[in-house]
Structure formats: C-alpha cells, structure tokens
Structure 1
Amino acid sequence: MQMEAMMHTAFYVRPIMKVVGIIACICLASACGAPSSNASKSEPQADGASSSRSTGGNDGVTSAAPGQKLAGNMNDYIDQLLTWASKDEKPILERAKKNGGLSASDYEKAWSDYKSCMVSRGYKPFELIKWPNGVYEMPSHMVGTQKQEEKYAEDYHECYGKKIMAIDTLYTAQVGNPSLYADQTEGVADCLKRSGAVSMDFSISTFKSEIGSGKYSQFDIQDPKVRACFAANDWHMGLQSDPYAQLW
C-alpha cells in the first residue's frame, strides 16, 4: 500500500487471543489505499520516497455486541489469561490477582525481558515505543529478506507470544480498557473520554464515523494521549513520523 506525498495511518492489531481478522485501514488524507492482510507495508517518507516497514502484527480489530464484556471483572479476566499464559507468566498473574492489579514494575520487566530475548537472537538493539499511559509497543521495522522476516516472526512468537503476551494483555486492559469492553471501538472511545482527549458526550457512533471517514474533527489522531488509547486497546497504528527499528 503506497500513497506518494500523503501522510497515512495503517491500523493493525497484536496477535492476541481475543483478536479476529476484520481488516481496518484509516488515512490522514482524503483517500485510503486498499487494506492488506500482509504485515509488510510500503510507507511514504517526508521527502516522498518510500521504504518498506513491517509492523509485526496482524491487521484487524475486534467487533462485538454493544456493551459486551471480555469478563465480569478484572479477576475473572486474569483467570481467563491464566488458562493460556506461559508457566513463567502465571506467578506474575497470580500476584496481580492477589494485589488488585499488575504492577508497573512487573510490566516494565516483562518488556525488558522481551528486548533482551530478541537481541539475544541476533537483532540489533532497538527502542520500544512508550506511550503516556505507560503502554509499550514494538515499533515497525525495515523489511528484510523473506528468510529474515520468517525468522523474525518465529522469534517474535517466542519472545513475545510465549513470554510476555498474557502480561501485556492484562496491563493494557488495566490502563486502557478497565471496563473490559469486548468491542475495541468501545474500549478506545471510553479511554479517549477518560483521558480527556474527547468530551464525555463523545459517542461510539461518532467515533466509528470518524474512523470510517478518516476525517477527525473530535480528536487529534497524532496526539500521544489518543495514540496511547489505541495502543492500550490492541489497536495499533503506524504514522509516517513514527520511529522504526533497524533490526538487521
């Protein structure tokens, strides 16, 4: 997907348990290229040149009936996560349940361990993106050869999927979706209201309309507080100005 001299936003979702494959694509311009399920995207740079960057995620957002919840409360949600969490994550989740939530220090350590895991597998050191709400995400990266990308997918699964995914899922829900809305549009809209990025009468229908049209009159899509709400609801975007990782 390539649009010369045009700022664009591609939304994608981390491959977590609750994600379904509904593709969404949103632009910061009057037109949007056709969405693609391929994680590799060709994005225009400031000078109009393009370079390939890989998000490492799956395109798509979750959709559910209005008001539907992922669980009755956060403890029930932790119990769900415990059914598929890795053996190393389970003690941390159990401690979070006992203490009334996952601590920021446990979350920070999880992402530090992820970075160490990836670097130990041969990737160049990189910086994670950290949003104002404390949520981390892996930056997109310059696309490598087919062999490099296949290895990256395997290593990402080993370092993220098998080691910190349940921890990340819990913490992002705590800060970005404490009401545990199953529909990501509800989760993001609620987060935007709680953060003060939009007025309290901001409606789901208005949010969906703005997302669909790509014309944002109710919020600034580049505001870090707005980006933080999307990231905390597993709905990730890539802006032209975002940093990217040089992994090889």
Structure 2
Amino acid sequence: MRSSKQNPINSRNSNRSLTRRATVMVCAAMLSVGLCGCTTSSDGTDSDDGLGGAKLASSLQAYATQLLEADNGSMDTEQRDILQRVAETGEVSVSDYEAAWQRYQTCVVDKGYNRPQLLTYSNGIHQANSETMTAEQAADLTYAEKMAKDYDACMIAHVDGINALYMAQVANPNLYANHDEGAVDCLRRGGLVPKSYTLEDYREDQDKMAHKSDGKDPETGLDMDNPDVLACMAANGYMFTHP
C-alpha cells in the first residue's frame, strides 16, 4: 500500500477536491504543505495543544450549509438533499454515506468504465482505488484526460460534499481546516500517538514516508501497521492506494 498527501481544504470552493483526482493513475501526486510557525486557535489566542484551530466552519450544520452555498449546480439532487438534512440535524447517516458511494460507482460504470473498487478503513471511510489503464490507454492523452474528467464529474455530483462532512464527523470533529491538524488531533484522541506528538512530528513522519529510498518503511512515530492510524490519516486528507 502506498500513499500520497492531499492538500488541506482552506476555502469553500476547494472543498470538492477532497478525494477526487486521486481516483485515477493519471493524476499527479499532491505536495505536502510546508511547516507553519506559531499557530493560534479560532479565537486568536495561542493554542495550548500545538494546533492552530482555524476551522472549516463553526459546526457540522454550518459546514453543510457552506457546501450547499458553494455548489454551482454540479451536485445531484440526492446529494443536495442529504446535505440539507445535515444542515438541519448536524449528522451524516451511515446509510446516506454508503448510498452516495454506490451512486458514484454506478455513475462511473454508466460512463463506460469498470466499477471502481473502494478502500474501506476501520472508521468506515471509503476511498476510491485508482483505475488501472492499459499501456495503450495511458499513452493516449485524450483518453486519459477524458477519464479524469468523467471520474471527477461523478465524484462532484454524488460524493464530494457528503464525504467531506462524514470524514469530519468521524475523524475531525473539531473541524480543523488544516488536514494535518485534524489528523494529529484524531491520532491523539485515539491514543495512537503520545499526547506529546506534535504537528511538526506528523509532518516530519510524512516526509520520511514520502522520501524513503530503500523501499523499507522508515522509523516514525506512526504505527503504519495499525489500521486505526491509517483510518485517521485517510479521513484527514491522506490517500492510500494499492500498488
């Protein structure tokens, strides 16, 4: 299993990029964000847990409302209806989450591709595994671009908003806008790292994993054999795919 880091969501218009573009092999690996300096909490004071505290929204309800307002008409009716319920109740149901991913898979098949396989983590989070292209398909730039566009359209229409909300619900309840902060918070709350494990530690560990040269897993503060560690990371912007 290999991984690539997704950029954090910092604005309404980038919320839809949460999981897409890593679904097909033609997409480029995203760069890790750089280290930041002194962080502050949402009220402007220094955070005593080392996390900045900048938030996606004030609540899951507000986050859902924000996603609805940012939609330019690309979401299907089912997804908008689910987001409206979350805006009212503050909760994404498992059944709604699963149904959204099923609609995504059906959408991809309807566009002429194989049914996407989903990676599922211990917290229930799904990620779409990358589609394998033939050598001929990979050499055809027009085909590759169309494939990426089709997958992207299916993700936007059926999954992106619901997925963003569900990931926050299960692994980023403080709604940290920076995915690295959300991951560290998740790891600490789950007892998967010491309370002293910092944002800088996490970013250094990511850098080690991204730049291993001998094919062996580097020594880090993260137990990558623990499925709950992978689940925290996956729900906070880290994309894992099978080689």
Shorter-normalised TM-score: what interval?
Answer: 0.7 to 0.9
Structure 2 contact 64–83 (Cα < 8 Å) conserved: yes
Rounded to whole Å, the distance in 2 between the matches of 1:234 and 1:55 is: 19
**Distance change (3 Å), C-alpha of 1:39 and 1:100:** closer
Matches for 1:69-80 after TM superposition, within 5 Å: 69-80=55-66
User: Alpha-carbon deviation of 1:175?
Assistant: 1.0
Matches for 1:90-129 after TM superposition, within 5 Å: 90-129=80-119
Structure 1 contact 129–136 (Cα < 8 Å) conserved: yes
Give 3-state SS (helix, strand or coil) of 1:211's partner. Answer: helix
User: Alpha-carbon deviation of 1:221?
Assistant: 2.4
User: Alpha-carbon deviation of 1:57?
Assistant: 6.7
User: Alpha-carbon deviation of 1:150?
Assistant: 1.4
Give 3-state SS (helix, strand or coil) of 2:70's partner. Answer: coil
Q: What TM-score do you get using the length of structure 2 for normalisation?
A: 0.73
The total of aligned residue pairs comes to 204
Structure 1 contact 128–138 (Cα < 8 Å) conserved: yes
Aligned twin of 2:4: 11
User: Which segments of 5 or more consecutive residues in structure 2 lack a partner in the other structure?
Assistant: 40-51, 210-217
Structure 1 contact 82–90 (Cα < 8 Å) conserved: yes
- Verify: 1:82 aligned to 2:75, yes or no: no
**Distance change (3 Å), C-alpha of 1:163 and 1:126:** closer
**Distance change (3 Å), C-alpha of 1:103 and 1:58:** farther
C-alpha RMSD over aligned residues: 2.9
Bigger fraction of residues in helix: 2
User: Alpha-carbon deviation of 1:141?
Assistant: 2.4
Give 3-state SS (helix, strand or coil) of 1:122's partner. Answer: coil
Q: Deviations over 1:57-97 (max 9, x none)?
A: 76135677522111122222111111124252222111122
User: Which segments of 5 or more consecutive residues in structure 1 lack a partner in the other structure?
Assistant: 1-7, 22-37, 41-52, 244-248
Rounded to whole Å, the distance in 1 between the matches of 2:100 and 2:109 is: 14
Aligned twin of 1:185: 180
Rounded to whole Å, the distance in 1 between the matches of 2:190 and 2:206 is: 19
Q: What TM-score do you get using the length of structure 1 for normalisation?
A: 0.71
User: Alpha-carbon deviation of 1:98?
Assistant: 2.3
Rounded to whole Å, the distance in 1 between the matches of 2:29 and 2:82 is: 26
- 2:159 pairs with 156, 160, 164, which one? 164
Percent of matched pairs sharing the same residue: 32
Question: Which amino acid counterpart does residue 90 of structure 2 have in structure 1?
Answer: G
User: Alpha-carbon deviation of 1:195?
Assistant: 2.6
Question: Which amino acid counterpart does residue 121 of structure 2 have in structure 1?
Answer: W
